[in-house]
Structure 1
Amino acid sequence: MEEMTFGTILAVFEEIFGKGLFWAMVVVAALITVAYVYVLVRDREMSMRKFLLAQLSMPIGGIAAVWFVLWVTRSGLQHMGGPIDALLLLGIFGAGAVGFAILVYVAQSLVRGKQSES
């Protein structure tokens, strides 16, 4: 592999997760993103109360993302080979935390609707 292309990265993710699971995750992420944009446009502002609860849920999403990747790859923390593996797990934790926070914010907004801050 002499150069990193989008097709190469796509093939690697499909190999890691399997085609079905990978594309299902892409579709779910796209739906959550569309719902997030819808909520922001509908409410015309971010609710700080909902945002705070979403931030407090971030560790749950990060831990779930790391667990999910370790489960899918049939790996474990004992298989970590060096600093790059630790950085990769931190990146997975961060992505899972942010994604889960967005999901929690969207879920609150769709269930509760727009509420006044006062």
Structure 2
Amino acid sequence: MKDLTFETLLAVFQEIFGRWLFCSMVGAAIIVTVAYLYVLVRDRKVSWTKFLLAQLSMPFGAVAAVWFVLFMTHSHLADMGGPIDIILLLGIAGVGAIGAAVLIYTLQSLIKGAHEID
């Protein structure tokens, strides 16, 4: 793998997760992103109370993302080979944390309405 292209990344992710799970994860990410943008446009502002509650979910999202990737790749934390593995797991944890915060903020806004929590 000399060149890192989009097609190469797509093939690797489909190999790791399987075609259906990968497509489901991409679909879920698109749905949550569209719902988040809808909530921001509908409310016309960010609710800092909802944002704080969403931030409390970030550690759980980070741990869940790392656990999910380790489970899908049949790996363990003891299999870490060097600094790049740690950097990659920190990146996965960061994406999981941000994803959890966006998901929780969106769910709060869709379930409880625009002005119930402010």
Please tell me the TM-score bracket, short chain as reference.
over 0.9
Give, in whole Å, the separation in 1 of the partners of 2:15 and 2:45.
40
Q: Could you tell me which residue of structure 2 aligns to residue 14 of structure 1?
A: 14
Q: What is the CA–CA distance in structure 2 between the aligned matches of 1:92 and 1:4, rounded to whole Å?
A: 19
Q: Percent identity?
A: 61
Which residue of structure 1 aligns with residue 81 of structure 2? 81
Gaps of 5+ in 1: none
The two structures, once aligned, show a CA RMSD in angstroms of 1.2
**Residue 57 of structure 2 contacts residue 104 of structure 2 at CA under 8 Å; is this kept in 1?**
yes
Q: Counterparts of 1:45 and 1:86 in 2: how far apart (Å)?
A: 36
**Residues 56-75 of structure 1: matches in 2 within 5 Å?**
56-75=56-75
**Count of residues in correspondence between the two structures:** 118
The runs of at least 4 consecutive aligned structure 1 residues that moved more than 6 Å come to: none
Query: What residue is the counterpart of 1:31 in the other structure?
Result: 31
Q: In the aligned structure 1, how far is the partner of 2:106 from the partner of 2:86?
A: 30
Q: Which residue of 2 aligns with 1:49?
A: 49
Deviation string, structure 1 residues 19-77 (Cα, Å, up to 9, x no partner): 11111100000000000000001001110000000011100000000000011111110
Taking structure 2 as the reference length, what is the TM-score of the superposition? Answer: 0.96
For normalisation by structure 1, the TM-score amounts to 0.96
Gapped regions of structure 2 (runs ≥ 5): none
One-letter amino acid of the counterpart of residue 21, structure 1: L
Letter in 1 for 2:90: L
